Structure 1
Amino acid sequence: MGQQASVPAPNTSIQVIGAGLPRTGSASFSRALETLLEGPVYHCGTQTTMGTPDEIKTWMQILQHWLRGPSDRHTVLKLMHRKLAGYAAITDSPGAQFVPELMELFPTAKVICTVRDPDSWDASMKQVRGKTEMWFVRAVLLPLPGMRHFISYGMLLRDQWTALYRETPPGRDSYTRHVAWLKEIVPADRLVFFDVRDGWEPLCAALGRDVPADCPFPRVNDSEAIDRTAKYHVRRGLTRWAVGLALVGVSVVALVRYW
């Protein structure tokens, strides 16, 4: 998160399904995939928070149809296929929770799950939840066309995680259940677990690519990126509130003078 939203490229299709949960190095992983696959990567966190309003709205539709059950599966697949056209990979949530659907849509894509110590992951997720669950967030984001839906979007994500991992709010057990779920649904020859701290070699080996020459493995600090994104949207929201209230004030003064 916190980067610029990626732009789809013509004649590009999903080659890698990033099955790692948020806070497992997904931003660094995405940057690495952009280099190896030579195409744009759909990092869900970045696209929904830094992309156009349509990004978050479409994922809300996808989640709503998924939560309705198997009868809406065709709609889920259709919306997802349209949204991911022109990208070489998808990473982060909710993509990581749609692995069965993504494997159906992209049958030749490799499934790579970024991993992290479960306890440190749990602590990191609690930190993120603490920032997004502050009482004033919904009000601050209200003037922003896409981000005004962020809290509702988060609630849909929570409902999906609860359905998959049977834990609310998600904690350490959700992490271990996610890994077990992947081992159950993804063929062993198609599933790779990858720790971004290990750098290029294991990732390149999994994808059959050469290690990039004179190119250090990208290291993106997810915590700093999330903080930057949060501050960016809070500033935007407060600015629009200030402008809106100022216009209301001017209008009231004008009406008083008129009457």
Structure 2
Amino acid sequence: MGNQPSVPQPGTKFQVIGAGLSRTGTSSFSEALRILLNGPVYHGGTQATLGAEKEIKPLIKILDHSPPKSPSEKELVHDLLRQRLDGYAAATDMPFNGLVQELVEVYPDALVICTTRDPDAWVKSIGTITNATTKWFLRFVLFPLPGMRHFVDFTNGLGKQWVELYGKHDGVSTRDYKAHIAYLKRVVPEERLFFFDVREGWEPLCKALGKDVPKDIPFPRINDGEAIDRLAKKMINKGLMRWLAISAMVGAAIVPYYLLKR
């Protein structure tokens, strides 16, 4: 997860669909794309959690209608994706890694790049997100925070998307990882699909994009797990502090009233 949300640049051409699952180096990949494509990249997890309310609500609406079950619903999803990604050079992370079929239809010239990782290591790592986003108290704690008050609805939509794509079973396993790869091979033309391990650095990514390797710029290395943990703690603390402030304001209004009544 990135450090801050991106800002669209009008007129930017959309070039890359980031199809890798969360915890496969999507933040490092997003930053690398920003450098290579010279344009903003929409990292779904970052935009939904750190962006304004206008970021997360359309994503929830897209998830509500995915996968589309009628021509009119497909047109709605396509329109919402165009609106949300206008001004961006690429989109990565959730929910876009589960909307690849729709994105391929909307952006027929875009390259699809899936970041990869050892499946067993991925299963252990994805627990970071699961633990941070499934706390029973989140809806209440986050309610005073614009944008984040919709976070539980967002994660519920992601859960629905997951089941639709990979099937329902207990926990997350390598089966899900393999099902995602199979999904990509099913919906993306072979000549447009590229797999990339961020540990390999600039060379294979630049080759896929037809770009020169940046001089004197190290390949980005962003620890998603640490960023997610920091964000979860920050948002929970911020929500609790907002509730304390609300309680103090209510108390300040009520106490004088009761004193006057005595």
Q: Which runs of 5+ in 2 are unaligned?
A: none
Partner of 1:211: 213
Alpha-carbon distance, 1:120 to partner: 1.0
* CA distance in 2 between partners of 1:170 and 1:59 (Å): 23
2:139 aligns to what SS in structure 1? helix
* CA distance in 1 between partners of 2:113 and 2:255 (Å): 60
* CA distance in 1 between partners of 2:135 and 2:98 (Å): 25
Q: Deviation above 4 Å: which 4+ runs of structure 1?
A: none
Amino acid at match of 2:260: Y
2:15 matched to 1:15? yes
* CA distance in 1 between partners of 2:256 and 2:157 (Å): 44
Partner of 1:136: 137
Alignment of 1:102-251 (within 5 A): 102-168=103-169, 169-251=171-253
Q: Is contact 2:56–2:147 with CA below 8 Å preserved after alignment? A: yes
Q: CA RMSD in A?
A: 1.2
* CA distance in 1 between partners of 2:255 and 2:127 (Å): 46
1:112 aligns to what SS in structure 2? strand
* CA distance in 1 between partners of 2:217 and 2:177 (Å): 31
* CA distance in 2 between partners of 1:59 and 1:171 (Å): 25
> CA-to-partner distance for each residue in 1:126-162, whole Å, 9 max, x for gaps?
2321222222222210111211111121111101110
2:50 matched to 1:45? no
1:66 aligns to what SS in structure 2? coil
* CA distance in 1 between partners of 2:172 and 2:81 (Å): 24
* CA distance in 2 between partners of 1:160 and 1:170 (Å): 14
* CA distance in 2 between partners of 1:158 and 1:36 (Å): 32
Alpha-carbon distance, 1:167 to partner: 3.0
* CA distance in 2 between partners of 1:31 and 1:152 (Å): 27
Amino acid at match of 1:50: L
Q: Is contact 1:27–1:222 with CA below 8 Å preserved after alignment? A: yes
Alpha-carbon distance, 1:36 to partner: 0.2
Amino acid at match of 1:49: T
* CA distance in 1 between partners of 2:177 and 2:250 (Å): 48
* CA distance in 2 between partners of 1:31 and 1:114 (Å): 13
Q: Is contact 2:9–2:40 with CA below 8 Å preserved after alignment? A: yes
* CA distance in 2 between partners of 1:44 and 1:64 (Å): 16
* CA distance in 2 between partners of 1:87 and 1:127 (Å): 28
Amino acid at match of 1:239: M
TM-score (norm. length: structure 2) = 0.96
> CA-to-partner distance for each residue in 1:82-140, whole Å, 9 max, x for gaps?
11000000000110111111111111110000000111111111232122222222221
* CA distance in 2 between partners of 1:42 and 1:19 (Å): 12
Alignment of 1:42-121 (within 5 A): 42-67=42-67, 69-71=69-71, 72-121=73-122
Q: Which runs of 5+ in 1 are unaligned?
A: none
Q: Is contact 2:132–2:229 with CA below 8 Å preserved after alignment? A: no
* CA distance in 2 between partners of 1:68 and 1:9 (Å): 29
Identity within the alignment, %? 52
